[in-house]
Chain A
Amino acid sequence: MGKAVKLLAACFLLFTGNLYAQENNELTIKIEPTPVVVEVGEELQLKATLMDGDEALPDTVLFYSRNGAALEVSRDGLVKANKPGTFSVLAQRSGPRDQRVRTRFNIEVPYPPIAKLEFKQIPESFFSKTNYDLLVDVIDEMKLVRENPELSFKSSNPEVATISHGKLLALKPGKTKITATSEGKSAVLNINVKENPAAEITIANSQTNVRTGDVITLNATAKGNNGNAVAVPITYSFEAQPEDNLGQGAEGQINQDGKFVANVPGTFILSARAGTATADQVIRVRKRNVARDIEVVGHGQVFDVHTSDLWVWEGQDGRDYAITGTWGANGDTYFWDVTDPANLIPVDTVRVDARTVNDVKISADGTIGVLTREGASDRKNGIVILNVSDPRNVEVITEYTDGLTGGVHNSFIYEDHVYAVNNGTRYDIINIEDPANPYTVNRFELDTPGHSIHDVWIEDGIAYSSNWRDGIVAVDIGSKNSELADAGGSPSNPVKLGSYAYPSGWNHAAFPFKSESTGDFYVIGGDEAFPEGLPSRNNPAAAAGWIHFVKFNGWENPQEVARYQVPEAGTHNFWVVGDTLYVAYYNGGLRIVDISGELMGNLYDQGREIAKFEPTHADAVVPNAPFTWGPQPHKGHIFISDWNSGLWSVKLLEPAQQGTN
């Protein structure tokens, strides 16, 4: 605000109230034509006139629009409509506040008339006593497919087939015309409902005594009167008799691929149906019984600042060490001797010019460490490379800030390269063969609009990044002859392999998982979300989000098959060893989950949780409130960093009875 204006504003606001708080409300702006309607592809010149009552005043009125390419509006009011919709536009006579006049009005760009309707994905045959989805594209004169059109259906012979909510119910053999109508345009589908040839259903599944969380595939086959298999749709359902039916929730789920999983113990009757042929199979489900007690072994208290990430490794001297970062503090990183997990001993501190050391990583050989910096006083941030050969006397080798000045949030060290998530949009790949002289060899960045990245994790030469709205992205950075990929990627030539995004846009972490029990390959995606907003000392954070199990059968075919979702809590970092998942669940503490076998549904509901531990302390930064940042299993213990209370070590106790495979 200009000086004189500021002075005027201060004076008059102080002593006279909002004398100048109102815009001129006597003058108006007349927009012509009114209403403003422009057809797609057409142009229209608007006229804006400053009016004092009925009197037109000579003045300049300018137009402002924030509708991008959909509706272009020049400053002098030339409108070009490129997409249908209702758009808000501002017209203004500028000037001091008391002389300023503005009006906001809508421009309607009608949807083009519908040109035609097209049935799509039409089944080859329709069989009686079977349900089908009817899919119709509604296409306008601009050849655009209308989203969420109003559609109605009619069957010319309801005794043969009826339509309800887009579902066609084929009732008996015969012919009928199905007419789909939208805004006066129609399409007709002639269908011939055939007698359903299924006379018998057989179920191949032999697993009838399972645990909660075990996935059964019914493998049902429809057969004709001659005993041969017939290609007809089979539908699946189940009937549950849970052991505990007092206010019980969902007992299980079955999908239309014939896969079933139970959430609770009990007796289940699984049914497969084709036409009038049905088959049932009775399944006995017992409790999964994988829960184990967890023991708190040690606590490295950090009560004066928030603790961020951790890494645990065996040092070159054979002892075990941990590194933890600090958040929103003074740029400290702590090194701990954790050889005795019951006595987590701080052995060194490195202070760098930063407010947050968000991520800490150690090279596989235990000689090089990398800190990520945010809040450096010179605003150059970047990373700091450490010599951690002697964790009791850690040395700063150098800092590296080229192209990383906005702050580095996360990083990963892999084969003499640092993959540094450059605040916002990409990861930079930095050669540290000579750690004193790092240099950037390439970057990996998506090309989607508004793309954003949060973290990257590398295994077997494949970088798995987490990219919020763009989800999980796998990139070959040197997979060589891996069974998963061989795309010729290298640090200087990263090659994208595949990706998977989900609607919430909360993807915050990604971790590869090759199931030891099934051989299936997943990329596990973790969320981060705070829909309730900021916490405070008196109002601990309420996080949201869950773990997504995305099964990759080839990089082109990702399928999200399961989740692990703890109610009223939210995920952060996680780790997998064997068929066990370790999740830092923020306000839900540490969760350890059995992810053996095929995965389907919400694992939380299936009794797959092995243990949980909520680290709290009365003297913590936020007292008595877990906010668990990250876990790392190491030599039989699980180390976790907690944002409020520091470093912890815990141990799973031996199970009282066998439960899992």
Chain B
Amino acid sequence: MKFLHALLFVSVLFLGFLTDSLNAQDYYLYVAAESDDRVHLIHFDGETEQGEISETIEVGTWPQENEGPHGLTISPDGEHWFVSIAHGMPYGSLWKYETETNQFVEKVELGMFPATMDISRSTGLLYVVNFNLHGDMEPSTVSVVEPNTMMRLEDIDTGIMPHGSRISDDGKWQYHASMMTDELIVIDTEKLEVANRIPLSKNGSPKMNAHSGMDHSGMNHENMEHNPVEKPTWADPHPVKPLVYVAGNGSDEIIEVNTDSWKITNRWKTGKAPYNLEVSNDGNMLVVTYKGEGATGVWDLNEEKELAKITNSRKVSHGVTISPDNKFAFISVEGIGGEPGSVDVINLETLKRVDVIETGKQAGGIIFWKMGE
């Protein structure tokens, strides 16, 4: 970890130097328009604080079926982007594209409604949760894909409606939320197995908790009543501290989990229905989308307080990605019905919304690609 800190420090200096000298103010990110089967490459000019759609990539195969691009990630070398296609026959899939050309490379079938994903810097493998929101409260999986060959290696059993796949900086732990069992689930990225399940309920409800010591084998899961409260939808680890932040979509709170003790160390009330969140790269801020009120919260993690709640341009706030220099947060906002989605850009220094870039319908998955040309 010390080595990582040192590298981080050097790179920040390096970035600052070169940002000045080369005036690197161009930001590029991808956003998926889930109800239009499109992925947009967004360009944002940091100086003018104006952005636009640089390119639109049509994804999917069927012209008259909505296949639903949902989650996005970028390969560590920046050469490829990946999008999960939620709907299939019946399984969804993972599609791989070149960032340079936005040309399709390959795809692989996954599970039911694959959603968010991340790539481990340790194993180089891609971990994508199969969200399965078709309605039945049944355990789902995390699919593990070797992204070079697009070979699906493993399907790891996990909780019900898993969402929000994010991986620790050392690449060893994948975190995701199990929405309908109120758990934070941790996967060992090398062994490809669940390493821990942390109940998020205030009373530490043991229901469907593999670590409670209960033997569930004789239980009739079909008839079990699941009454999730927190309904967690996202998890993101802190870059340097042993902390993971979880969005409690059902309980309107951010839940902080210490990964040394595996204890909940903080709960902060938030705006309505926090959905996605991301810790800034310097670890000082947390940006949270409030899906239920069409707003975005910016939190100071050191002061443990909300610095600002910024109204989004339309309803149904979805995802967030923060630029590596921590200057801007890019928020995807779905909208409703036929209205366009958007990427709302928030200046994290002024805490103001500085631009709205309209996209295809239901802007959802969003991922930062690069700075510069």
Chain A residues engaging chain B, CB cutoff 8 angstroms: 1-15, 18, 20-21, 23, 62, 64-66, 75, 88, 90, 92, 94-97, 100, 102, 104, 305-306, 327-332, 351, 353-356, 374-375, 377, 379, 401-407, 422-425, 450-453, 468-469, 530, 533-536, 541, 572, 627, 629, 643
Q: Which 9 A-B pairs have the closest CB atoms?
A: A330-B338, A424-B90, A2-B169, A406-B134, A3-B239, A10-B324, A403-B135, A452-B89, A21-B77
Report yes or no: B171 in contact with A14, Cβ–Cβ below 8 A. Answer: no
Contact of A9 among B4, B78, B125, B338 (CB under 8 A): B78
Q: Which of B8, B153, B280, B337 contacts A90 (CB 8 A)?
A: B153
Knowing A94-B123, A102-B124 are in contact, say whether A11-B11 is a contact too (CB < 8 A).
Answer: yes
Q: What's the Cα separation between A624 and B35 when bound, in Å?
A: 25
| B281 → A minimal CB distance (Å) | 4
With A405-B134, A406-B113 as known contacts, state yes or no: A64 contacts B192, CB within 8 Å: yes
Residue B334 lies at the interface, judged by CB distance under 8 Å to chain A:
yes
Interface of chain B: mostly helix, strand, loop or mixed = loop
B191 CB-CB contact with A under 8 Å: yes
- If A5-B169, A11-B324, A423-B87 touch, does A535 touch B334 (CB 8 Å cutoff)? no
Are A379 and B14 in contact, with the CB atoms below 8 A? Answer: no
Separation of A21 and B74 alpha carbons in the complex (Å): 13
Q: Is the CB of A405 within 8 A of B192?
A: no
Q: List 19 A-B contacts (CB under 8 A).
A: A4-B169, A9-B78, A10-B370, A64-B125, A75-B191, A75-B192, A94-B124, A327-B64, A355-B338, A375-B66, A402-B135, A404-B135, A405-B135, A406-B132, A424-B134, A425-B90, A452-B88, A535-B63, A629-B64
User: Which stretch of B54-62, B195-203, B255-263, B302-310 is in the interface?
Assistant: B54-62
CB contacts (< 8 Å) of B132 on chain A: these are: 406
B207 within 8 A of A: no
Q: Which chain B residues lie closer than 8 Å to A97 at the CB level? A: 76-77, 121, 124
Give Cα A354–Cα B339 distance, bound, in whole angstroms. 11
B168 in contact (CB, < 8 A): yes
Partner of A329 from the list B74, B336, B338 (CB cut-off 8 Å) is B338
Give the secondary structure class of A's interface: loop
A330 to B339 Cα, complex, angstroms: 7
- Mask, B191-234, CB within 8 Å of A = 1, is 11000000000000000000000000000000000000000000
- CB proximity of B40 to chain A, nearest CB, Å: 15
- Tell me, rounded to whole Å, the shortest Cβ–Cβ distance linking B360 to chain A: 9
Q: Mark B230-242, 1 if CB is under 8 A from A, else 0.
A: 0000000111100
Q: In the complex where A353-B337, A355-B362 touch, is A7 in contact with B136 (Cβ < 8 A)?
A: no
Bitwise interface map of B from 254 to 292 toward A, beta carbon under 8 Å scored 1, else 0:
000000000000000000000000011111000000000
> Which residues on B sit within 8 Å (CB–CB) of A88?
151
Cα A14 to Cα B15 in complex, Å, equals 9
Cβ-closest chain B residue relative to A97: B76
B77 touches A62 (CB 8 A): no
Q: Complex formed: what's the CA distance from A90 to B154 in Å?
A: 12
A534–B60 CB distance below 8 A: yes
| B337/A330 in contact, CB under 8 A | yes
Given A5-B121, A353-B337, A424-B112, are A643 and B64 also a contact pair (CB < 8 Å)?
Answer: yes
Determine if B252 is an interface residue (Cβ-Cβ < 8 Å). no
Please, how many angstroms separate the alpha-carbon atoms of A5 and B167 in the complex? Answer: 10
B61, A534: Cβ atoms closer than 8 Å: yes
Q: Is the CB of B66 within 8 A of A1?
A: no
- Which chain B residues (298-341) contact chain A, with CB distance < 8 Å? 315-316, 324, 334-339
Q: What is the minimal beta-carbon distance from A319 to any residue of chain B, in angstroms? A: 30
B90 touches A354 (CB 8 A): no
